[in-house]
Amino acid sequence: MPESTLISVVPLLLLGAGAVAAAMLFFSLRGEAGELRRRMATMEKAANTAHVQCQSRLEELGERLRQAEERPASPPGPPRSGLNLNNRAQALRMLRRGIDAQTIATSLNLPRPEIELLIRVQRLSASSDSATSETPGG
């Protein structure tokens, strides 16, 4: 082949190779775009499912809240004291032995103010008993 023919064919060959490369690139990108669309559709379905589940859970919680608000509030009972008769008797015995209030409260696992109140009541009761026994005719 003469050199002039070769020079005239080379641009056509390069143009053809460029066209083939462009076509391959086009179809490759088209396939990737389709794959991305499928992934997005799958992710969208999963997101919609999660959204529906969250919405139904939220509605369920709202209904439970409405039911709780409609229920009449039960009045709180009287505060419970840890000082029952057994603990009271033990505390008085320990007090008679000369044990201080903090030690009694700690050993009986009771609040110190309750023990101090018991001590005050016991002293008032003892002074009241001694005052009534000292009065004539009593």
Under 8 Å between Cβ of 110 and 82? yes
Residue 59 is encoded by which pair of tokens? 């509605």
Q: Chain centroid to CA 78: how far?
A: 29
48 to 36, 57, 117, 130: CA distances (angstroms): 18, 14, 64, 83
Spatial separation of the C-alpha atoms in residues 136 and 116, rounded to whole Å: 33
What pLDDT, in 10s, does the model give residues 108-132?
888 888 899 988 988 888 887 777 7
Q: Which residues of the chain have pLDDT under 70?
A: 1, 75-82, 133-138
Task: Please tell me the pTM assigned to this model.
Answer: 0.40
The pLDDT assigned to 81 comes to 63
Which DSSP state fits 99?
-
The pLDDT assigned to 52 comes to 96
Q: Which residues contact 112 (CB under 8 A, 6 or more apart)?
A: 101, 102, 105
Spatial separation of the C-alpha atoms in residues 121 and 138, rounded to whole Å: 22
The count of C-alpha atoms lying within 13 angstroms of the C-alpha of 114, restricted to the half-sphere facing its C-beta, is 16
